[in-house]
Amino acid sequence: MARLESHSVTAYNTAKDSENKMHDDTVARQFGFSGGLVPGVDVFAYMMHPPVAKWGRAFLERGLIEARFVKPVYDGEIAEVTADEAGGTMTLEVQSRGQLCATGSASLPASAPKFLLADYPDVAAVAQRRAVDAQSYEMGKWLGAIPRAWAGSDATGYLTDVRETLPIYTQEGVGHPGLFQRVMNKVLVDNAILGPWIHVGSRMQMLAAAKASNELTARAKVTANYEKKGHRFVELDALVLAGGKPVAHCWHIAIYQPRAQAAA
């Protein structure tokens, strides 16, 4: 097993002012955290640095990466991503404040698998969001997301926010795949009004590199909705599209209704 160069960042909570108050210091403390959580999608973006540093554009076109978030990363704290490679698989960990915060792995398949766009129906996000309930994420339900582009200053601002320093994104004009994860969160947010909620894990197979200027959206199916330890979980199977073409296949899991504060 070979230890690769670690990637250390000063974590930044990009969602302090978002609708999800799990990123707000006061609310997060009510759930037993030390402060507002750095979004899991951004911690995932930190974890993408080592495989892209090693495999370059090939990883953006066909790489496979997954992550589970086990402890929070907090704003202003150092988050260190370590990577060990053996047999073509990279084992990833994120440490912060002396704790293991995330685990994952990455690899570079010989080719990207094929997914038929026709197998993922084009469904619009709901016309009017309502407070999340049992019908919001019913098993088998198809969900869409409101398209969004992170172009120009939004694209460079994103790279700054996730502390990304690799030149490939600016030199080659490709989109950072961490944005695909943001789109997966948009699937949840664009279809219901959520209280505080937590992204807990994802698996993402890249299918093609996106252009930094592409408009992104997703077509997602609810594959699981269940209760565990008082939390309500939802799992999504989705294609992320850039400029109308599939660029990633994602499995996304979130706690959309955390256990009641009084029991936390």
Q: In 3D, which of 49, 97, 46 has the Cα closest to residue 72?
A: 97
Residue written as tokens 């999800």?
20
How far apart CA 170 and CA 212 sit, in angstroms, is 9
Query: How far, in Å, CA of 198 to CA of 68, rounded?
Result: 12
Beta bridge pairs of residue 218: 240
* Look-up of token digits 């939004």: 154
How much is the pLDDT for 261?
Answer: 56
d(CA 246, CA 248): 6
End-to-end CA distance of the chain: 40
pLDDT value for 6 = 93
Q: CB of 233 within 8 A of CB of 254? A: yes
Q: What are phi and psi of 160, to 5 degrees?
A: -65, -45
pTM (predicted TM-score): 0.95
Tokens (6 digits) for 129: 């969001």
Closest by CA to 166, choosing from 87, 237, 81, 244, is: 81
pLDDT tens digit at each of 264 positions of the chain:
788 889 999 999 999 999 999 999 999 999 999 999 999 999 999 999 999 999 999 999 999 999 999 999 999 999 999 999 999 999 999 999 999 999 999 999 999 999 999 999 999 999 999 999 989 999 999 999 999 999 999 999 999 999 999 999 999 999 999 999 999 999 999 999 999 999 999 999 999 999 999 999 999 999 999 999 999 999 999 999 999 999 999 999 999 999 865 433
Class of domain 2-263: alpha beta
pLDDT at position 264 is 35
Helix orientation angle between 40-47 and 178-189, rounded to the nearest 10 degrees = 160
For the chain, the domains span 2-263
